[in-house]
Amino acid sequence: MKYFRLSQNAVKALADTYSTPLLVLSLEQIELNYNLLAENMPGVKIYYAVKANPDERIVRKIHELGGYFDVASDGEMQMLNRMGIDSARMVYANPMKTASGLKVAHAVGVNKFTFDCESEIGKMAAAEPGATVLLRIRVDNPHALVDLNKKFGAHADEALALLTKAQAAGLDVAGLCFHVGSQSTDNAAYLEALKTCRELFSAAAERGMNLRILDIGGGFPIPTLTEEPDVAVMAAEIYKAVRQYFPETEIWSEPGRYICGTAVNLITQVIGTKERNNQQWYFLDDGLYGTFSGVIFDHWDFELETFKTGKKIPATFAGPSCDSLDIMFRDKPTVPLEIGDLILVPNCGAYTSASATVFNGFAKTQIVVWEEVYEEIKAKLELAAAV
Ligand SMILES: *Cc1c(COP(=O)(O)O)cnc(C)c1O
């Protein structure tokens, strides 16, 4: 699969027209990513995990495509509700819900929840009697970049007791869910989790509980500096196993990164250079407190396309703020750069702008939609192509 990547001429024209830093979002790429999952997992309900990138244009596109939404907070539920999205299309998939989150869920009509411990049962039953609930199961996965199972998921051996307690509290105990961890490049964890869930579905059936929904979570990967996973193959293989173990069950999945990660490019610019501690330093106009927040929160190593050729040197890249933490990369190989050089950062849509701050007075980087701005820069692109 070829993912959204601006040409050098487009980068120049966009920087010229909108200035930098600038995030460019392709809604066509969002659609391609959604369709790739939908086609390889037919009938599976796709709940877009809004936390990966809550941009309203992405949410609206998923809605147009017939998608559903994984929301985790009062703010996400309110935003989708404001956008006119039916609460029946949302699952409040935060196993540890806040009081205000439960209040907003009740107010806007979200009544599907996930949980992973006993203390959550009473909270859900009080806020939304009879709510539909899925128990989140823990899966260990050494092949995920971000391991969510350190924080969430009940052990398989406590699952039946928790399901029984939830049922006794009057909740509609509908099924199980899991999350193999984010940027998971190996299907082994999925296959293991499916096996565990199959055993639990059968054990629950023996106790008279008829589980009917399985939520296989998120985790699908995007290209990194070193590998380009084939998600069509991964999804097809997972789907095959899902149908083998769960021929009749309603299946949900909750992709975040895969839907939005490849749909956004960042254009940033070198604003200063200096030599320090025997290394070359480049200061960019977007930083660790901005789009590059994923370096910290998402453990992500970004590709920097400089459009220059030559011998590479190890360099330090820092952001524009006055804090010394604001350093994105050290010893990053790069062709020597100068003030004004434009840098393209592809695959920049997940866990980037979503966790950016306005620290030190630097506004969040503007996001424009490629299919909309293309018309505006078309003349400049044609001119550049002609010379
Ligand atoms: C973050 C999250 C997701 C999305 O995960 P990705 O790895 O981005 O696909 C899905 N479900 C839940 C419950 C999450 O917390």
Tell me if 293 is assigned to some domain. Answer: yes
- Cα(217) to ligand 1 centroid in Å equals 6
Using CA atoms, how far apart are residues 236 and 37, in angstroms rounded to an integer? Answer: 9
Structure tokens at 31: 């659609």
21 in a domain, yes or no? no
286 close to 317: Cβ distance less than 8 angstroms: no
96 or 376, which is more confident: 96
From 148, 178, 253, 298, the mutation candidate for ligand 1 (largest count of ligand atoms within 8 A of CB) is 148
What is the pLDDT confidence band of residue 114, given thresholds at 50, 70 and 90?
very high
pLDDT at 79 over 90: yes
68 CA distance to ligand 1 centroid (A)?
Answer: 13
Are 68 and 34 in the same domain?
Answer: yes
Domain boundary residue among 234, 259, 284? 259
pLDDT at 147: 79
Q: Would the pLDDT of 386 be above 90?
A: no
C-alpha 12 – ligand 1 centre gap (Å) = 34
**Which residue, among 39, 49, 174, 195, has the nearest Cα to 115 in the 3D structure?**
174
Helix, strand, coil content of the chain in percent (nearest 5): 40, 25, 35
144 pLDDT more than 90: no
Average pLDDT on 312-319 reads: 98
Atom of ligand 1 nearest to the CA of 52: 8
CATH of the domain at 231: 3.20.20.10
Is residue 381 predicted with pLDDT exceeding 90?
no
How close is the Cα of 173 to the center of ligand 1, in Å?
A: 22
Instruction: Note whether 122 and 57 are same-domain residues.
Output: yes
Two tokens at 186? 């190996």
- The reported pLDDT for the residue numbered 254 is 98
Atom of ligand 1 nearest to the CA of 183: 7
Based on the fold, state whether residues 218 and 76 are members of the same structural domain. Answer: yes
**277 and 252 belong to one structural domain:** no
322 classed as catalytic: yes
Average pLDDT over residues 269-273: 98
Quote the pTM value: 0.97
**171: in domain:** yes
- Same domain assignment for residues 253 and 318: no
Q: Which of 70, 135, 176, 220 to mutate to test the pocket of ligand 1 (most atoms within 8 A of CB)?
A: 70
- Residues having CB within 6 Å of any atom of ligand 1: 49, 51-52, 70, 93, 179, 182, 217-220, 254-258
Q: Which of 199, 232, 259 is the last residue of a domain?
A: 259
Atom of ligand 1 nearest to the CA of 184: 7
Could you give the number of structural domains in the chain? 2
Q: Widest CA span of the chain, in angstroms?
A: 74
Give the DSSP H or E segment for 333: strand 327-334
CB-CB contact of 321 with 362 (8 Å): yes
Q: Which atom of ligand 1 is nearest to the CA of 261?
A: 8
Q: Point out the catalytic residue in the list 117, 177, 197, 322.
A: 322
* Res 140 pLDDT > 90: no
Task: Look at residue 282 and tell me if it is in a domain.
Answer: yes
Residues 114, 74, single domain; the answer is yes
- Residue with token string 């910290």: 296
Q: Within this chain, do residues 92 and 216 fall inside the same structural domain, yes or no? A: yes
- Residue 23 resides in a domain: no
Whether 19 maps to a domain, the answer reads no
Rounded distance from Cα 182 to ligand 1 centre (Å): 7
Q: Are residues 100 and 178 in the same domain?
A: yes
Residue 148 pLDDT exceeds 80: no
Q: Considering only CA atoms, which residue is closest to atom 13 of ligand 1?
A: 93
Residue 352 maps to which CATH number?
Answer: 2.40.37.10
How far, in Å, from the CA of 143 to the mean position of ligand 1? 15
- Banded pLDDT at 287 (limits 50, 70, 90): very high
Specify whether 151 is located in the same domain as 74.
yes
> According to the model, what pLDDT value does residue 323 have?
96
DSSP 271: E
- Which atom belonging to ligand 1 lies closest to the Cα atom of 220? 9
- Token code pair at residue 202: 């059968």
Same domain, 348 and 250: no
| Full domain range(s) for residue 194 | 28-259
What is the pLDDT of the chain when averaged over all its residues? 96
Mean pLDDT of 109-122: 98
* Cα dihedral: 115, 119, 122, 123 (round 10): -70
Q: Are residues 250 and 340 in the same domain?
A: no
Assess if residue 15 is contained within a domain.
no
Least confident of 71-85, 110-124, 181-195: 181-195
Of 259, 286, 321, the residue at which a domain comes to its end is: 259
**pLDDT over 70 percentage in the chain:** 100
Got the DSSP string for 82-144? Answer: HTT--GGGEEE--SS--HHHHHHHHHHT--EEEE-SHHHHHHHHHHSTT-EEEEEBP---TTE
Atom of ligand 1 nearest to the CA of 254: 10
Find out whether the peptide bond into 21 is cis, omega within 30 degrees of 0: yes
How many Cα atoms are found within 13 Å in the side-chain-facing hemisphere of 336?
Answer: 6
Q: Same domain for 125 and 244?
A: yes
Residue 1 belongs to a domain:
no
88 CA distance to ligand 1 centroid (A)? 19
Strands (E), 217-306: 250-253, 264-276, 279-284
Q: What integer pLDDT is reported at residue 384 of this predicted model? A: 82
Look at 148 and 25; give whichever has higher pLDDT: 25
